[in-house]
Amino acid sequence: MPRTEVRRDLKSAATSHKGDRIFNRSITTAAFTALVVLAGIAIFLGFSAIEALRTQGLDFLFTTEWSVEQEDPKAGIWGMLYGSVLLSVIGLVIAIPASLLLSVFIVFLAPRRLAKVMTNVIDLMAAIPSVILGLWAFYLLNPPAEEWQFLLNKYLGWIPIFQNESGNFNGTPFIAGFVLAIMMIPIITSVSREVLGRTPPDLINAAEALGCSLWTMLRYVALPYGRGGIVGGIMLGLGRALGETIAIFFVLKLIFETNWYNIIESGGGSVATLIVATFGEVSGPYELNLLLAAGFFLFVGTLIVNVIANLIVQRTGRMQR
């Protein structure tokens, strides 16, 4: 005769205790609050975006124009979207090598006391408000940077990105990207220093016993080990750069044309800067709505960049031979 089984669903230990139950619920609520806020922002901006697309069509995304005070208002933010990415790329090209060299120096070369001081100074750099950085760049960085760009153009002008026909080296994407790099360096350095410092001593020992140099140890042991973390740090820096507003406002000459690659030619774009530059003298609710829509697409663009970055991390994370 078969035995009859009575199946009972067992509550997990975590929820059968009253204190745990309250704690778990509070945490879950807090976690969902973050999602709700994010969704709220997305929906609020999304409505503006729909409105903008309804009146301007896809031209809003793929043309570059901003003349909204006429009878038939025209608005297109392509140059700004593209500019945001271009400035961030310039920033990354400068910030990534600088940050990696800095963190390698701090972790593997600097005497302990110097390493500590440098770590603190670099962390402090991250705390400089961007408006201060913008003012500093406008008054102090701009004049020498014009000289650098002049030299770049003189000696490397045959490379298309260093062409300059106007002779004006003020308010260029290069200088804006340079300021972004200064803002990204503390973030990327801080994360990669942390990650490199966690390379297991066992592996470093193994590499040293195999006759490594500092370079080969970094190349084959420390960097592969820390790659995920370092890319994460770069993404954090990139996140800051894509949304950076006021520092760029001071140093970039905002123009409604697409500056594709002439990074040392005066004039460029950036979505966040477009918003802050236009917001103060906005002509009416329609233009305001267009600005919010621009914000929405900056938001989407940042998301896309993050997704692509994640894919890159996954792809390069595969096994090396």
Q: List contacts with another protein (CB under 8 A).
A: 112, 200, 202-203, 205-213, 216-217, 220-221, 224-225, 319-321
Closer CB to another protein, 16 or 213, in the complex: 213
Contacts (Cβ under 8 Å, ≥6 apart) of 280 = none
Closer CB to another protein, 203 or 300, in the complex: 203
Q: Least Å distance between CB 104 and another protein? A: 16
Long-range contacts of range 38-44, CB-CB < 8 Å, 24 or more positions apart? Answer: 41/299, 42/296, 42/299, 44/292
Rounded to 5°, the CA angle 274-278-282 comes to 145
Closer CB to another protein, 58 or 209, in the complex: 209
Closer CB to another protein, 204 or 282, in the complex: 204
Closer CB to another protein, 9 or 202, in the complex: 202
Classify the phi-psi angles of 257: left when phi > 0, otherwise alpha if psi is within -120 to 50, otherwise beta.
beta
Q: Give the dihedral sign, CA 124/129/132/137.
A: positive
Nearest to 247 by CA among 299, 186, 184: 184
Q: DSSP secondary structure string, 33-89? A: HHHHHHHHHHHHHHHHHHHHHHHHTTHHHH-EEEE-SSSS-EEEEHHHHHHHHHHHH
Q: Least Å distance between CB 216 and another protein? A: 5
Q: Least Å distance between CB 227 and another protein? A: 8
Rounded to 5°, the CA angle 163-164-168 comes to 155
Enter the DSSP assignment of 254: B
Q: Residues 263, 86: contact at Cβ < 8 Å? A: yes
Q: DSSP secondary structure string, 210-226? A: TT--HHHHIIIIIHHHH
Closer CB to another protein, 108 or 148, in the complex: 108
Record the tokens describing residue 253, joined without a space: 């000459």
Q: Least Å distance between CB 202 and another protein? A: 4
Distance CA 276, CA 244 (A): 11
Closer CB to another protein, 223 or 236, in the complex: 223
Cα of 78 vs its chain's centroid, Å: 19
Q: Least Å distance between CB 194 and another protein? A: 19
Closer CB to another protein, 67 or 205, in the complex: 205
Q: Least Å distance between CB 206 and another protein? A: 5
Q: Residues 233, 192: contact at Cβ < 8 Å? A: yes
Closer CB to another protein, 5 or 202, in the complex: 202
Q: Least Å distance between CB 321 and another protein? A: 5
